[in-house]
Amino acid sequence: MQILYTAEALATGDGRNGHARTTDGKVDVDLAAPKEMGGSGQGTNPEQLFAAGYAACFHSALRLVGKQAKANIDDSAVGAKVGIGPNDAGGFALAVTLEVSLPHLSREEAQALADKAHQVCPYSNATRGNIDVDVVVAED
């Protein structure tokens, strides 16, 4: 694979209760475990960052395949929900729901584009077979 871009970040402190910063300084956040996991909730957390990244990446893939199909992708949006919980091996696992909004397309057309985007998106390709990802079309 020819690498086109590399993002670089460093996490310091106490893991989920620390700090993360990209080398270019564009992302610079305090981290805190969510209250639901016994933390203070006073900072962002890795699941929020993953949700934002996956939503943006998937939306980009959706717009690409939509343009290729000459579909009306105006007002499109993608929401991501990232859940975390214990797995059966003593660790933790993630589960993702991607909610796709394509208000100018039929449900069937929107689902077809979402399914195609799921094959194109680098986050989808990276997570496939590793975590549960559910791609649903929003009721517009």
Q: What does the pLDDT look like over 61-79, one tens digit per residue?
A: 999 999 999 999 999 999 9
Instruction: Output the CA angle 44-50-31, nearest 5 degrees.
Output: 20
> C-alpha dihedral over 127, 48, 94, 38, to 10 degrees?
160
> How many CB atoms are closer than 10 A to CB 85?
9
Q: Which residues contact 135 (CB under 8 A, 6 or more apart)?
A: 98, 100, 114, 115, 118
Q: What does the pLDDT look like over 116-137, one tens digit per residue?
A: 999 999 999 999 999 999 999 9
Which conformational region is residue 91 in: left (phi greater than 0), alpha (psi within -120 to 50 degrees), or beta? beta
Domains of the chain are 1-44 (2.20.25.10), 46-137 (3.30.300.20)
How far is Cα 12 from Cα 9, in angstroms, rounded to an integer?
10
- The phi and psi torsions of 111 (rounded to 5 degrees) equal -65, -40
Identify the H or E element spanning 119.
helix 107-120
Contacts 24+ apart (CB under 8 A), 107-110: 107/137, 109/71, 110/137
Tens-binned pLDDT, residue by residue, of the chain (140 aa): 999 999 999 999 999 999 999 999 999 999 999 999 999 999 999 999 999 999 999 999 999 999 999 999 999 999 999 999 999 999 999 999 999 999 999 999 999 999 999 999 999 999 999 999 999 999 86
- Please state the pTM of the whole predicted model: 0.94
